[in-house]
Amino acid sequence: MAASNKSSRRNFIRNASLGVGALALGPALSALAMPAGKAKKKLGVALVGLGYYSYGQLGPALLHTKDCYLAGIVTGTPAKAVSWSKKYNIPEKNIYNYQNFHEIANNPDIDIVYIVLPVFMHKEYTIKAAQAGKHVICEKPMALNAKDCEEMIAACKKANRLLSIGYRLHFEPHNMEVMRLGQQHILGNIKKIDTGNGFTYNGDPNAWRLKKAMAGGGGLMDMGIYSIQGARYTMGQEPISVKATQQKLRPQFFKEVDETVFWELEFPGGLKTTGKSSYNNDWSYLKVEAEMGNFELGPAYGYGSIEGSVNGTPMKFPQIVQQAAQMDDFANCVTLNKASRVPGEEGLKDMKVVDAIYRSLDSGKWEKIS
Ligand code: NAD
């Protein structure tokens, strides 16, 4: 146990330090991998599902990427095919629907398939994309549960394709600084972490996000995944057990899924951190107390501006297009044939925590994370 904890800690530190370097060195490294005199190829990305996140964030971010571009789309809505094709100059041969998606296997323009669908479709389309010979980015939360995550990882391994999760914050400078401060004990050992993420859901009461079979859960799956990650990447360790409680102030709205969830995560060595998620509160913060001071982020997890401070002094990092950095990094991983900093295994670790939180909500007890 101790050895594996140490090794996961080492991996966290290595990943964090590689992270900073990779952002700066990414293009240079991939240029090294190119045969002399050959221009570097921009990899083609196909977005699967053209809803809110693709429309508002990923499509626009693909106009900022240097190492990949929007080459194709998969949509069930013909009108979206027309408008996206015009806006992003996508040829008809690179436009698919859910019935002919498998034909993407024969399309050399598409290197990476990015799954931006409701959670219950993540497993099916990740596996289909890998079997079609494409590298895959899958949005968070990775799947309905940890078992499905394991099947997705196994299918991508079997197809010899890389799998990454859309964890954009691993490429965001303020969050990367928190990883460095926490994992390298820059202010000494961590004494306390409190973190929360949520928003007040007032959208369509019939949306997939509010249906357990389609979303897997509510605020915990959608927003809590970030506060779980925040604690994990600040500690640089994997939590071993969890105790959770919940609150429902709008039960008529959140009939099938959780509204607000509070938890304590126990880490090896005994530190207990607190976290929370919500579809009924606007939260986005991470507060850390260490032996020699404190650091915090707020807003911590969105894709608008991120702010942070160390012992009260503001961090001075640029605001970046997180998704562009995330997709460029994955394109470089594909070019260099190396695992992503946020591989499927990272999504699986979070889903193990989520599964244990739901078990704790049912049992009312501490549950092991396994
Ligand atoms: P959305 O509902 O706006 O879009 C989902 C898309 O899937 C729609 O275009 C819809 O037409 C399509 N779809 C195909 N088959 C469907 C079916 N059977 N039922 C419902 N929709 C179907 O959702 P979204 O907000 O774009 O979220 C998509 C994914 O992206 C989710 O996994 C979500 O968690 C993730 N997301 C991530 C971030 C982030 O910051 N990383 C932000 C928002 C959403």
Question: Which percentage of the chain shows pLDDT scores above 70?
Answer: 89
What confidence tens digit (pLDDT) does each residue in 167-225 have? 999 999 999 999 999 999 999 999 999 999 999 999 999 999 999 999 999 999 999 99
Whether 150 shows a pLDDT value over 60: the answer reads: yes
Distance, in Å, from the CA atom of 50 to the CA atom of 225, rounded to the nearest integer, reads 22
**Is position 303 annotated as part of the catalytic site?**
no
CB-based contact 334:137 (threshold 8 Å) = no
Residue bearing the CA closest to ligand 1, atom 38: 53
Is 303 close to ligand 1, i.e. is its CB under 6 Å away? yes
Residue bearing the CA closest to ligand 1, atom 34: 140
What confidence tens digit (pLDDT) does each residue in 91-136 have? 999 999 999 999 999 999 999 999 999 999 999 999 999 999 999 9
Q: Which of 140, 243, 276, 349 is catalytic?
A: 140
Give the residue from 185, 198, 165, 178 showing the smallest Cα distance to 295. Answer: 178
Is 267 close to ligand 1, i.e. is its CB under 6 Å away? no
Write out the two tokens for 245: 């409680």
Per-residue pLDDT, averaged over 64-83, amounts to: 98
Residue bearing the CA closest to ligand 1, atom 29: 116
pLDDT the model gives residue 210: 98
- Tokens 């939260």, located at residue: 283
pLDDT the model gives residue 370: 93
Cα–ligand 1 centroid distance for 312 (angstroms): 38
**Is position 38 annotated as part of the catalytic site?**
no
Is 116 close to ligand 1, i.e. is its CB under 6 Å away? yes
Cα–ligand 1 centroid distance for 72 (angstroms): 17
Instruction: Kindly report the backbone phi and psi dihedral angles of residue 231, in degrees, each rounded to the nearest multiple of 5, phi listed first.
Output: -65, -45
Name the average pLDDT for the chain. Answer: 91
Whether 7 shows a pLDDT value over 50: the answer reads: no
Identify the burial level of 38 via C-beta atoms within 10 angstroms of its C-beta, where 0-12 means exposed, 13-18 middle and 19 or more buried.
exposed
Is 53 close to ligand 1, i.e. is its CB under 6 Å away? yes
Distance, in Å, from the CA atom of 252 to the CA atom of 264, rounded to the nearest integer, reads 27
Is 118 close to ligand 1, i.e. is its CB under 6 Å away? yes
Whether 303 shows a pLDDT value over 80: the answer reads: yes
Is 133 close to ligand 1, i.e. is its CB under 6 Å away? no
pLDDT the model gives residue 39: 60
What confidence tens digit (pLDDT) does each residue in 11-70 have? 333 333 333 333 333 333 333 344 444 566 899 999 999 999 999 999 999 999 999 999
pLDDT the model gives residue 131: 98
Domains and CATH numbers, the chain: 173-317+344-368 (3.30.360.10)
pLDDT the model gives residue 17: 31
User: Where residue 245 falls among pLDDT bands split at 50, 70, 90?
Assistant: very high
Write out the two tokens for 154: 């196994």
pLDDT the model gives residue 41: 86
More confident residue, 309 or 3: 309
Per-residue pLDDT, averaged over 250-278, amounts to: 97
**DSSP H/E element including 229:** helix 225-235
